[in-house]
Structure 1
Amino acid sequence: MKEKLQYFPITTYAIVMGLSGLTIVFGKFYHMQWLPRIFYDLFLFLTLGLFLFISVMYGLKAMNHFEEVVKDFNHRIRINFFSAISISFLLLSVAFMTYWPFLSMAFWWVGLILHTILMLYTISFWIRHNFEIHFMNPAWFIPVVGNIIIPVAGVDYLPKAFSFFYFSVGFFFWIILFAIFLNRAIFHHQLPQKFIPTLFILIAPPAVGFIAYIRIAQSWDTFAVFMLFMAYFFVALLIFLYRSFAKLTFFLSWWAFTFPLMAVTLASIVAFQISHQPFYRGVSFILLVVDIFTVVFVTGHTIGKIREGEICVNED
C-alpha cells in the first residue's frame, strides 16, 4: 500500500474532469426537461466524493512522499496535469451552480486562484527549460487553455471584464499551442501510445470557448458559430483518425476522451437553447449516448487495471 501511495498519479484528476463534465451534461438535460433529475443528483455527489478521495490520496502522498510530488511537479509532461486540480474545482463550481450556489462560488474562487498560480508557473517553467519538440502533446493545453473555463461560472461572480481577461489568455494560447502541436504531429515522430488519447483534448478549447463566449457576450454571432463549428470539425477529424485508437493499451490518459466530449455536448445544448434549431438537439442526444458509452468503457478498463495492480506504479 505504501508503494502504491508513492506512485499515486496526478493524472487521476482527469477522471474528475470527465465525470464533472458528465454531471454538467446531466444537469443541462434535466433543466431542458429531457431527463429526470436523478442522474444529475447521483453523478453530482459521486463526482464530489471521488474528487475528495483523490485529493486525500494525493495529499497523503505529499505528506509521506513529498519528493515524489516534487518530482511530478518538475516533470516535463506531468507538470501540465497539476492544472487538472484547479480545473476540477472550476468544473465542480459549474456543476453546483444551480444546486448549491454558495458552494459553487467557493469552488470557483479556489479554482481561480489555484489555476492562476499554476498557469503562470507552468508557462514560466516552459520558458526556463529547453524542450525538444517531441515533448509537446495536447496535455500542454490544460494549464493555459483551461483559462477559458473560468468565465463559465465567473460571469456570475465578478464583472465581465475579468472573465474576458481569462477568455483572451486561453484563446490566445489555444491558437499558439495548436500551431506548435500541428507542427509536431505532421513533421516529427508520432505521439507515444500513452498520449494518443489526449488528441481528444483538441475538441475542448473551441467547445468550452463557445460556451464561455456565449456566457460573456450573450450573443449568437459569427464568432460564436466559428467556435462551435471548430469543435465539430475536431470531432469529425478524430472520427477519421479512429485507426490510431484501435489497438491502444489502456492508460489513465484514456480519460482524455471524456471531458472534451462532454464539452462539445454542452456546447450543442447551449446552441439549441439560443437558436432553437432541431439539428443541435439531435446532436446533443447523439453525443450523450457517446458520452455515456465512453465513461462506461474507460471506467471498466480503469477498474480492471486497479484490480491487476497496474495503476499506481512507477511510470519512469
Structure 2
Amino acid sequence: MNSPSTATSPATAGTAGTIKATSSASGASIEHLPVNLFASVMGLSGLALAWRSASKTFGADAAIADAAGVLAILVFLALAAGYLYKLARYPDAVRREFTHPVASNFFGTITIAILLLSAVLGRYSASLQQAVWTAGVAVTIALAFLSVHRLLRGNAAPAGAVPVWLIPGVATLDIAVTGASMPMPWAHEVNLLAVAVGSVLAMAYFVMIFSRLVHGDPLPAGMTPSLLILMAPFEVGFLAYVNLVQQVDLFAAVLFYFGLFLFAVLALRVFRPAVPFAASWWAVSFPLAALASAALKYADATGSAVLTALAAGLLAFLSVTIAVLLVRTLHALFSGKLLRT
C-alpha cells in the first residue's frame, strides 16, 4: 500500500466535511472524535475473521487471528468510551454528525463493528456471542430503517450520493455474515430479512452512486478511500449468501468475481500517494477484509491453486494495509492531529 501524505485535518477529511465543531478551541479535543473511526474496529475484526479462515486454508497460526480480535475489542471499547464521553460533554457535536446527510452514514460503522465483534467473541463464549449479535441486529435494522426514512423525505442533493450511503444499508448483510448459524429459533427469519433488505438497498444505492460518480464532479480527495466501499455489497453479499445456502454456487461466484473486478478498478484510484491520510482511510479496511475472506472461502470451494494464491495475496495486502493504517492513526493521535478541527 502506498503511504498517503499526512493531511492537515485527519479527523475530518473524507467524511465530506464530517461536521466540524463550533467550539473556538483549536487544540485537540474529544469533541472532534470522528464517528468514522469505528471503521477501524470493522477492519481489525475483519482481519481477525480472515486470518481465522486462513488457519483452516493454510494452517496459519490461530494466534494471529486471536491477536487481531483482541485488538479489535480493545479499540472498540476505547472508541465507545470516547464517543460516549463526547455525547455527554458535547451533545450538539454528536447531533450535527447524526443529522448530516453524509457523516450520519458513518454511524453504520458502529453497528457493523458490533456484529463483527460478535463473531470474534464466539471463540470465547457462545452466549456472549449471541447476546452481542442480537444487540447488533437490533441497532443495525433500526439504523437502516432510519437511513431509508430520511432519504424518502426527498430533496436529497444528487451530489450527496456518495459511497458511504452504502454503509447503513449494507450493514444488514453483515447480520447474515455473522449470524447464519445462530441457534435461536427466530434467527433464520431475521437473517432472511437482513439479506432481503441489504441486497435490495445495495442495488438501489449502488446505481445512484455509480451514476453520480459518472455524471457528477469527482469526489474530494479526502473521500477517495471510500470508493472501495462500492465493492462491499458484492463481497459481503457473497459471504452472507453462502452462509445462508451453505454452498458456493454460480450466483455466489458472480458476486465474488464482480467484487474482485471492482477492486482491481478502484484500487488504482485509491492507493495513490496524492490521497491524503485521514481517519476516513479506515473505510478501505473492511471491504478489503470481506474480499480476502470471500477469496479464501471461494478458493476452498473450488480447490484451485490459482485462487488459493490469489486469496493468500489478498490476505497479505489486507494485513499490510491495516498495519499501515494503524501506525498512521496512532501517529496522528499522539501528534494531536487526530482530534483537532
Q: TM-score range by the shorter chain?
A: over 0.9
Equivalence map 1:82-231=2 (5 Å): 82-128=107-153, 130-157=155-182, 158-231=186-259
Structure 2: how far apart are the matches of 1:73 and 1:111? Answer: 18
2:234 equivalent to 1:234: no
Are the aligned partners of 2:109 and 2:167 in contact in 1 as well (CA < 8 Å)? Answer: yes
2:330 equivalent to 1:285: no
Counterpart for residue 250 of structure 1: 277
Q: Unmatched 5+ residue regions in structure 1?
A: none
- Structure 1 range deviating more: 296-305 or 1-10: 1-10
Structure 1: how far apart are the matches of 2:340 and 2:260? Answer: 36
Q: Show structure 1 runs of 4+ deviating over 6 A.
A: none
Structure 2: how far apart are the matches of 1:194 and 1:138? Answer: 13
Structure 1: how far apart are the matches of 2:57 and 2:117? Answer: 20
- Structure 1 range deviating more: 174-183 or 53-62: 174-183
How far the C-alpha of 1:130 sits from its partner, in A, is 2.2
Equivalence map 1:55-94=2 (5 Å): 55-94=80-119
Are the aligned partners of 2:55 and 2:62 in contact in 1 as well (CA < 8 Å)? Answer: yes
Counterpart for residue 50 of structure 1: 75
The one-character-per-residue Cα deviations of 1:132-191 (angstroms, maximum 9, x if unpaired) are 121121111000011111112322224433312211111111111111111111111110
Counterpart for residue 288 of structure 2: 261
Change (3 A) 1:98 1:307: closer
Are the aligned partners of 2:169 and 2:197 in contact in 1 as well (CA < 8 Å)? Answer: yes
Structure 2: how far apart are the matches of 1:178 and 1:167? Answer: 16
Structure 1: how far apart are the matches of 2:106 and 2:267? Answer: 25
Change (3 A) 1:33 1:188: closer
Change (3 A) 1:11 1:159: closer
Structure 2: how far apart are the matches of 1:148 and 1:84? Answer: 13
Structure 1: how far apart are the matches of 2:199 and 2:166? Answer: 11
Are the aligned partners of 1:197 and 1:254 in contact in 2 as well (CA < 8 Å)? Answer: yes
Q: Which has the higher contact order (CA 8 A, sep 6+)?
A: 2
How far the C-alpha of 1:250 sits from its partner, in A, is 1.1
Q: Unmatched 5+ residue regions in structure 2?
A: 1-24
> Which structure: greater helix fraction?
1
2:318 equivalent to 1:301: no
Are the aligned partners of 1:147 and 1:170 in contact in 2 as well (CA < 8 Å)? Answer: yes
Structure 2: how far apart are the matches of 1:97 and 1:11? Answer: 25
Structure 1: how far apart are the matches of 2:86 and 2:28? Answer: 10
State the secondary structure of the residue aligned to 1:241: helix
How far the C-alpha of 1:219 sits from its partner, in A, is 2.7
Alignment RMSD (CA, Å): 1.8
Are the aligned partners of 2:224 and 2:269 in contact in 1 as well (CA < 8 Å)? Answer: no
Are the aligned partners of 1:97 and 1:153 in contact in 2 as well (CA < 8 Å)? Answer: no
Are the aligned partners of 1:196 and 1:245 in contact in 2 as well (CA < 8 Å)? Answer: no
Are the aligned partners of 2:232 and 2:290 in contact in 1 as well (CA < 8 Å)? Answer: yes
Letter in 1 for 2:66: D
- Structure 1 range deviating more: 50-59 or 301-310: 301-310
The one-character-per-residue Cα deviations of 1:205-257 (angstroms, maximum 9, x if unpaired) are 11111111111112322211111111111111124435x73301111111112
The size of the alignment, in residue pairs, is 313
Structure 1: how far apart are the matches of 2:58 and 2:118? Answer: 22
Structure 1: how far apart are the matches of 2:332 and 2:295? Answer: 33
Structure 1: how far apart are the matches of 2:285 and 2:334? Answer: 22
Structure 1: how far apart are the matches of 2:339 and 2:267? Answer: 31
Letter in 2 for 1:283: L
Structure 2: how far apart are the matches of 1:222 and 1:31? Answer: 23
TM normalised by structure 1 equals: 0.94
TM normalised by structure 2 equals: 0.87
What is the aligned-residue identity percentage? Answer: 26
Counterpart for residue 313 of structure 1: 340
Letter in 2 for 1:264: L
Are the aligned partners of 1:115 and 1:143 in contact in 2 as well (CA < 8 Å)? Answer: yes
